[in-house]
């Protein structure tokens, strides 16, 4: 279920700080754990499901938001340790208002097209959901600058690329943490991307305020197709075998890890 709405609000709560984030879409749902109860032998009874486990609904889903000046630091901090430190969301869908407590990240994705806004998808799970009460604040997002992706924002082994028109950086948490960088670009003669199999270091600097530093990248998949007779479009996916460092630029111009 995808929920869109220009009047909906979404508030991230971490360390007792409330941050209104731009509402784009969300798929958060509540699923109760049930097990089928077989009818007695010899009786014509319908198959029914009965609750199992703790009885609390399981909260699953994701939310997608643009990265802007006011939400930059809280979102970056969430990407760093949101799989370890619980957080809350106040969600106003207009038709219903829900509070989701003690959520943990199960994964995230940062993506953008050239000259377009940067989006973050956060995948989450938890077990605590409730309706708003009279003390729950409804904080609308105030319009402010959104981060964009431009040519030269991605640096591959020290060389800035002006040929990438789309990227996505995905991180999943489970028994192991996996990180994958996917890049899209048109095939050009002499482009260093054409035959590359590994990168020592890749940096993504977005809006001169958010930076991802990836080390030890190895090619996972390669795909190419064409939509006309002149241009071949290439998609490459790289596995990040070493670090994925996330930093923000503070008011002093220093790159620091958000907390």
Is residue 233 in some structural domain?
A: yes
Tell me the pLDDT of the chain (259 aa) as tens digits. Answer: 444 556 788 999 999 999 999 888 889 998 876 666 666 655 555 666 666 656 678 899 999 999 999 999 999 999 999 999 999 999 998 889 999 999 999 999 999 999 999 999 999 999 999 999 999 998 888 888 899 999 999 999 999 999 999 999 999 998 999 999 999 998 887 777 878 899 999 999 999 999 999 999 999 998 877 766 677 889 999 999 999 999 999 999 999 999 8
Q: In this predicted structure, what is the pLDDT of residue 231?
A: 79
In a shared domain, residues 219 and 170: yes
In a shared domain, residues 20 and 116: yes
In a shared domain, residues 97 and 17: yes
In a shared domain, residues 17 and 63: yes
In a shared domain, residues 112 and 164: no
Nearest-5° Cα angle at 57, 54 to 58: 100
In a shared domain, residues 189 and 84: no
Is residue 144 in some structural domain?
A: no
At 80 the three-state DSSP class reads: helix
Question: Model pTM greater than 0.75?
Answer: yes
Say if residues 215 and 205 touch (Cβ distance below 8 Å): no
Final residue of a structural domain among 127, 142, 171: 127
What total number of domains does the chain contain? 2
Is residue 41 in some structural domain?
A: no
117: containing domain: 9-31+56-127
Q: In this predicted structure, what is the pLDDT of residue 140?
A: 85
Q: In this predicted structure, what is the pLDDT of residue 192?
A: 74
Final residue of a structural domain among 111, 127, 143: 127
Is residue 138 in some structural domain?
A: no
Say if residues 245 and 212 touch (Cβ distance below 8 Å): yes
Final residue of a structural domain among 127, 146, 162: 127
In a shared domain, residues 167 and 93: no
In a shared domain, residues 102 and 181: no
Q: In this predicted structure, what is the pLDDT of residue 49?
A: 63
In a shared domain, residues 85 and 120: yes
In a shared domain, residues 170 and 236: yes
Is residue 94 in some structural domain?
A: yes
Widest pairwise Cα distance in the chain: 77
φ, ψ dihedrals at 81, nearest 5°: -135, 20
Q: In this predicted structure, what is the pLDDT of residue 1?
A: 42
Q: Rounded distance, CA 39 to CA 46, Å?
A: 7
Is residue 147 in some structural domain?
A: no
In a shared domain, residues 114 and 188: no
Is residue 116 in some structural domain?
A: yes
Residue 32: CB partners within 8 Å, gap ≥ 6?
51, 55, 57, 58
Q: In this predicted structure, what is the pLDDT of residue 5?
A: 54
Q: In this predicted structure, what is the pLDDT of residue 64?
A: 94
Q: In this predicted structure, what is the pLDDT of residue 128?
A: 92
Is residue 92 in some structural domain?
A: yes
In a shared domain, residues 13 and 87: yes
């Amino acid at each position: 279920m995808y929920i869109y709405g220009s009047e909906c609000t979404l508030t991230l709560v971490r360390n007792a700080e409330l941050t209104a984030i731009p509402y784009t879409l969300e798929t958060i749902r509540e699923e109760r754990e049930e097990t089928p109860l077989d009818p007695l032998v010899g009786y014509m009874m319908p198959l029914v499901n009965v609750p199992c486990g703790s009885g609390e609904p399981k909260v699953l889903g994701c939310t997608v938001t643009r990265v802007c000046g006011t939400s930059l630091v809280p979102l970056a901090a969430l990407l760093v340790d949101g799989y370890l430190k619980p957080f809350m969301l106040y969600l106003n869908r207009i038709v219903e208002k829900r509070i989701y407590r003690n959520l943990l990240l199960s994964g995230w994705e940062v993506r953008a097209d050239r000259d377009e806004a940067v989006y973050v998808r956060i995948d989450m799970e938890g077990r605590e959901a409730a309706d708003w009460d009279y003390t729950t604040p409804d904080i609308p997002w105030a319009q402010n600058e959104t981060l964009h992706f431009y040519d030269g924002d991605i640096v591959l082994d020290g060389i800035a690329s002006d040929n990438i028109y789309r990227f996505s950086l995905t991180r999943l948490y489970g028994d192991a943490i996996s990180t994958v960088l996917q890049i899209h670009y048109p095939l050009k003669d002499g482009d260093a991307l054409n035959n590359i199999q590994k990168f020592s270091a890749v940096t993504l600097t977005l809006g001169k305020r958010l930076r991802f530093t990836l080390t030890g990248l190895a090619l996972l998949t390669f795909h190419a197709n064409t939509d006309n007779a002149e241009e071949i479009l290439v998609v490459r996916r790289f596995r990040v075998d070493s670090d994925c460092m996330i930093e923000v630029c503070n008011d002093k111009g220093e790159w620091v890890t958000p907390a």
